[in-house]
Amino acid sequence: MNTVDISDKSVLSHLSVRLRAYMDLVKFRLSALVTFSAMFGFILGDSGTFFSWEKFFGLMLGGFLVSGASGAANEIWERDIDKLMKRTQNRPLPLQLISLTEAYFFTFATALLGISILWIFTNPLTTMLGLLSMVLYVFVYTPLKRVGPIAVFVGAIPGAMPPLLGWTAATGMISHEALIIFGIQFIWQFPHFWAIAWVSDEDYKRAGFKLLPSGGGQDLNTAIQIMVYTLFLLPLGLLPTYFGLTGINSGVIATVCGVLFLAQTFSLMRDCSRKSALRIMFGSFIYLPVVQIAYLLDKV
């Protein structure tokens, strides 16, 4: 009996390790946030006359799989680089928890399934945008990370794509409202990316990543650029209210969140410290979901 119990525990432990490895490979938490942004775009774009649960769940599952495949492809591409950085050296490929052959097969199957689900349950426009997002992230942004800060601009496009995918899944078209919610998330990417790059500067240098602007320095010029892009979020955050997409309450919340987010950048400009950059990084994680939830709750 004890032998059976030990054997069962060993099998369960092995399955648990494998499951965690595959969750890490698809960057589960990031993919979940991407899926949330896509769901936000869908609900905001829905006309309210007839909510299509079929499209909604198709977008949710297909979007998660496409995002997961993109993350897995990124980890395959950077498997040797990940060994050099403390924040990534425990990923499944550097630790050989998953073989390279398995990772290739899993990534291809996940991407194919995700694109197929989007095609079947949403529409061709959403599917093509999802495919474009994956191609830009994997084959353009990933190699550009070792070239220069232009990578941040390129990476901001697929990073801002989820709410656009949600909108097109609900409406079948790209309208000015879709471009507004895309634009907010696009501009948000810059202080978000640069704060992470500032905090992880030593790791990134080991890997040869060049993501900080102004020559890659942790200096006042970089801090000013972070402040300027954060400042742009103030008028952008009011556009959904201005165009009648949402009400005044969400406009107030977006403005308050924007001001608080902006205030953190002044601290970085003053002391150029890792601690201040860390506050901006966490502030960026809070800003986007809070503002998006406010828009949803205040939808006109």
Q: What is the CATH number of domain 11-172?
A: 1.10.357.140
pLDDT tens digit string along 94-146?
999 999 999 999 999 999 999 999 999 999 999 999 999 999 999 999 999 99
pLDDT tens digit string along 142-189?
999 999 999 999 999 999 999 999 999 999 999 999 999 999 999 999
pLDDT at 4: 47
H, E, C per residue of 151-163: HHHHHHHHHHHHH
Crossing angle of the two packed helices 124-135 and 100-121, in degrees rounded to 10 = 150
What is the distance between the alpha carbons of residues 21 and 265, in angstroms, rounded to a whole number? 36
Q: Hey, is 299 helix, strand or coil?
A: strand
Average pLDDT over residues 279-295: 96
pLDDT tens digit string along 188-245?
999 999 999 999 999 999 999 999 997 788 999 999 999 999 999 999 999 999 999 9
Contacting residues for 28 by C-beta, under 8 A, at least 6 apart: 68
Contacting residues for 87 by C-beta, under 8 A, at least 6 apart: 200, 203
Cα separations in angstroms, 191 against 46, 112, 229, 275: 30, 33, 7, 15
pLDDT at 25: 96
On whether the CB atoms of residues 229 and 190 are closer than 8 A, the answer is yes
Residue 256 has pLDDT above 60, yes or no: yes
What is the distance between the alpha carbons of residues 300 and 290, in angstroms, rounded to a whole number? 18
DSSP state of 200: T
What is the distance between the alpha carbons of residues 96 and 181, in angstroms, rounded to a whole number? 40
Chain mean pLDDT for the chain? 94
Cα separations in angstroms, 272 against 72, 79, 178, 212, 231: 34, 31, 36, 13, 18
Q: Which residues pair with 299 in a beta bridge?
A: 246
Average pLDDT over residues 291-296: 96
pLDDT tens digit string along 37-91?
999 999 999 987 788 999 999 999 999 999 999 999 999 999 999 999 999 999 9
pLDDT at 8: 65
Q: Which residues pair with 26 in a beta bridge?
A: none
pLDDT at 49: 76
What is the distance between the alpha carbons of residues 118 and 256, in angstroms, rounded to a whole number? 36
Beta strands in 16-154 (DSSP E): none
pLDDT band at residue 7 using 50, 70 and 90 as cut-offs: low
Q: Hey, is 268 helix, strand or coil?
A: helix
Contacting residues for 202 by C-beta, under 8 A, at least 6 apart: none
pLDDT at 1: 46
User: At residue 134, what is the residue type?
Assistant: M
What is the distance between the alpha carbons of residues 70 and 4, in angstroms, rounded to a whole number? 40
Chain-centroid distance of CA 269 in Å reads 26
DSSP state of 245: S
On whether the CB atoms of residues 295 and 37 are closer than 8 A, the answer is no
pLDDT band at residue 16 using 50, 70 and 90 as cut-offs: confident
pLDDT at 74: 97
- Element holding 253 (H helix, E strand): helix 248-271
Rg (CA), the chain: 20
